[in-house]
Amino acid sequence: MKIALSQLNYLIGDFEGNKRKIIRDIERAQNEGADMVVFAELAVSGYPPRDFLEFEDFVRKCNKAVEDIATHAQGIGAIIGLPTFNPDDRGKALRNSAAFLYDGKVEAMFHKALLPTYDIFDEYRYFEPNHVFQPLEFKGKKIAVTICEDIWDVDGDYQYVISPLDELRGYQPDFIINIAASPFHYNQPVIRKRILRANVKKYDLPIVYVNHVGAQTELLFDGNSQVLDENGETLQELKYFEEDFALVDMDKKELQHPIPLPEKIAAIEEGLIMGVKNYFEKLGLKKAILGLSGGIDSAVTAVIAAKALGKANVYGVLLPSKFSSDHSVTDAEQLARNLGIQYETIPVKEVVESFEKTLEKQFEGLPFGIAEENIQARARGVILMALSNKFGHILLNTSNKSEAAVGYGTLYGDMNGGLSVIGDVYKTDVFALARYMNKEMEVIPENIITKPPSAELRPDQKDSDSLPDYEVLDDILTLYIEQRKGPQAIEAKGYDPALVAKVLRMVNLTEYKRHQTPPILRVSPKAFGMGRRMPIVAKYLA
């Protein structure tokens, strides 16, 4: 049997656009002699549709789109994901389904059994799990049709009481098809390959896996759809971070060299570029603005923006205060020239002095402190947002994950923005990104990479005045945030108990700030945002 894999970048709720892409690839598969073409989970709606699923009209439009698509499946089968209504009186109103289309109509429907409710997933909020299992019989083959999580409960950490493939095994299927919406993080390509091979080994069956590609707000999908034979060898593998299409003959067993697993920093850069590009394209936006401080965070963000949007669509603004060093200005100017982006300088000294004069009576007799520091950051934020409003440029936030974790940022100042580009990238990885971006030529001036990080909000300020070295801080934060280790477990790694208590307290006490940040592009296994849900008012470790 010849099966086509269609790896597409969908837009949530764009029924006509998604339908056009799907029909195009059905016709391509027909022309190339495929017996069947496979699309991703919830392809018609886009993933994740979230509370759009609470609108009956939204779900009806999904089903109507599939009926229209079915008319193009003449002489070829197609498997496509969509939400469907649950006909039972009891249970959730919807099902997460895979429709099998053939000869102009929907011939069969299969439903997802394992509904993830962890990290960024919340599928049991909407869907009723499947309890009835049967294979798809097509052209003399029995096919175990599964949907994403249905194959993930196989690696020892069992979260469910049933296994769809255990239920289907008795039918003696010839191979597995899994349609997926599996978001990217920097460990995901390795985990994905392990999960697919674990299924192949357990069931002694080939597997056809089709994933989403593209960004949906903060979630990034890296694609990497693939086909493995019954020995876990690669028959076909599609690209990372790009739309792709391929045809595989399940009977010929012609092995293909697998695509090398992406190196962490390279994958992060590629994912972030795709995230920025798709955020702007899917919202009908074109131009970005950002503050260029002469620091490494804004430099890395500017490089990503220029690669994603084109240098003509990025506007950098230098906003020096009386505490800004000369090299910060010259470094930022050199970065902008290297990138070829438009830039200009708007000093904030007079704006800050105006605020200080307005508050002179209230602040009389009090020493210079955090209020005055934050006035500078907020003055910059006001100017950037004014330019954004006037010219329609979307402000990119340049805060990194280390800063966001411990609250080292100013609300309504440097935490402003329409999209947080590197808010899921720890500072140590920001440095690694900068080095990676300079691998062929110096794009980011060397001084930006080597000078001590500083917010430059008071004389001779350094990040190290308030924070431990980033190598230490980031390791503690990773243990707490990504690995969910408690203070004793972190201390057992050799860290000072007082430092651990201080860092964890900073993380928990600044939750209110993170609730007010822009969407953060997710590249880690545990990102701030929809995948990490913490109370603001709490006592634990605070």
Catalytic residues: 41, 112, 148
Render 375-395 in DSSP notation, one character per residue.
HHHHHHHHHHHHHHHHH-PEE
Residues 345 and 318: beta-carbon distance below 8 Å: yes
CA angle 247, 249, 253 (to 5 degrees): 125
Residue with tokens 């108990």: 497
Q: How far is CA 221 from CA 7, 181, 224, 493, 523, in A?
A: 11, 8, 9, 34, 10
Query: What single-letter DSSP state applies at residue 239?
Result: P
CA distance 176 to 198: 13
Strands (E), 406-506: 419-420
Give me the sign of the Cα torsion angle 424, 428, 430, 435: negative
Residue with tokens 């294979």: 135
CA angle 476, 477, 479 (to 5 degrees): 65
For residue 86, give both structure tokens.
Answer: 């649950």
CA angle 8, 524, 155 (to 5 degrees): 80
Give me the sign of the Cα torsion angle 428, 431, 437, 441: negative
For residue 374, give both structure tokens.
Answer: 């934050």
CA distance 261 to 257: 12
Residue with tokens 């050199």: 334
Residue 285: half-sphere exposure toward Cβ, Cα within 13 Å: 23
Residue type, 102: Y
The three-state secondary structure class of 142 is strand
Reported residue count of the chain is 542
Residue type, 435: R
CA distance 477 to 493: 13
CA distance 324 to 337: 20
Q: Residue 232: which residues within 8 A CB-CB, separation 6 or more?
A: 196, 197, 200, 201
